[in-house]
Amino acid sequence: MITAISAIIVFLLLILVHEFGHFLSAKAADIKVLEFAIGMGPTIFKKQRGETVYSIRALPIGGFCKMEGEDEDSQDERAFGNKGIWQRFFVLVAGAFMNILTGFIIFVVLMNTQQQVYVPIVNTVIEGSPAEQAGLMPGDKITSINGTIIHIQNDFAFEMSRYTGGEIAVGYIRGGTKGIASLTPMKGEDGRFLIGITNSVKDLFFTSRITNSYYMTLFTSKVVIISLGDLITGRYSFKEMSGPVGIVQHIGEAAKTGILDLLSLTALITINLGVFNLLPVPALDGGRLLFLLVEAVRRKKLPPEKEGLVHFVGFALLILLMILATTNDIGKIFGG
């Protein structure tokens, strides 16, 4: 029961946050909003306020913001399709922005439950390790690995987790002077690759909590994009991908562990939702943004029926992807 309730709350909250972003930006751009709904399916309650119908629907699986002229031609000057490119861009981006902003706020809350955090600053160097041989010293602040900027400990750990062999270039700052240490990581007893250092612990203050939350948001967004690229290039199998069933299972496990774990997972999911929605894929907001870019280059709108057909095909492909992911989830649950 706790799994179902927590999953419904998380999904409903995150989709509503997304749609509320569209709603607020549409109002700001003077676009006519026909309906703002909580839930999907049959209407169980609705109230008209001004030109907008506010409704609650039977299925607690999200919501929507219906705008005039969003998917069809309209002669109303306040219709979505009749607004300028930048106004429509603003409205389309707002949903994903709200999801990512929600993730940042959750990270701020989580950071305020901690007094200290690990940072990518060398605390000790293990004798005989690659780090010692390369000349790294206690107090060195690691700033990059193979050119990838390191802001927080998660960045460092993630880059090391992707190591597949060969020499790496570790950028660092020592006493205000930049340097680069070339070394080859060694394999630890647990199978992970290590460079042979321990990281420092730093006290958290108000500004550092905000800064760390910001970099955690960037890190999570980066991981979503890189992970998607890994699936496409074959670094990871599609069998490792989780769908709705797997996410619900993870939410339930996090809810049983405690509110902090549930919040951490919610931050991951909402940022994932925001970043994924901005991908240039038909049926997603990113796909609509791509059509806006084409319109800006052509200086002419594409026929709505053609754009609608492309989004329909994209939606069908997303449904197939969801079915594949759900099949993976069921296979994992039953050990198949």
Domains defined along the chain, listed by start: 2-112+240-333 (no CATH), 116-203 (2.30.42.10)
Task: Indicate the DSSP class of residue 82.
Answer: G
pLDDT in tens, 142-154: 999 999 999 999 9
For residue 191, give the H/E element and its range.
Answer: none
Question: What was the pLDDT predicted at 244?
Answer: 58
Contact of 102 with 270, CB cutoff 8 Å: yes
pLDDT digits (tens, 9 = 90+) for 73-105: 788 899 988 899 999 999 999 999 999 999 999
Tens digit of each residue's pLDDT (9 = 90 or more) over 108-150: 999 999 899 999 999 999 999 999 999 999 999 999 999 999 9
Per residue in 240-294, pLDDT (tens digit) is 666 555 566 667 677 777 788 889 989 998 999 899 899 888 888 898 899 899 8
230 vs 160, more confident? 160
Please check whether residue 99 is in contact with residue 270, taking contact to mean a CB–CB distance below 8 angstroms: yes
Q: How confident is the prediction for the chain on average, in pLDDT?
A: 86
Q: Give the bridge partners for 180, in sequence order.
A: 171
CB proximity list for 60: less than 8 A, separation 6 or greater: 8, 12, 39
For the segment 4-8, the average pLDDT, to the nearest whole number, is 77
What is the structure's pLDDT at 135? 93
Question: Which of the residues 19, 68, 70, 159 is marked catalytic?
Answer: 19
Q: Quick one: pLDDT at residue 78? A: 92
> Distance of CA 180 to CAs 119, 131, 145, 265, Å?
19, 11, 9, 35
19 is catalytic: yes
Q: How far is CA 52 from the centre of its chain?
A: 30
Global pTM reads 0.87
What pLDDT shows up at residue 312?
A: 75
pLDDT of residue 95: 94
Name which of 202, 208, 185 is nearest 111 in CA terms: 208
pLDDT value for 331: 64
Over residues 172-182, the pLDDT tens digits come to 999 999 999 99
- pLDDT of 64 > 90? The answer is no
Q: How high is the pLDDT of residue 22?
A: 95
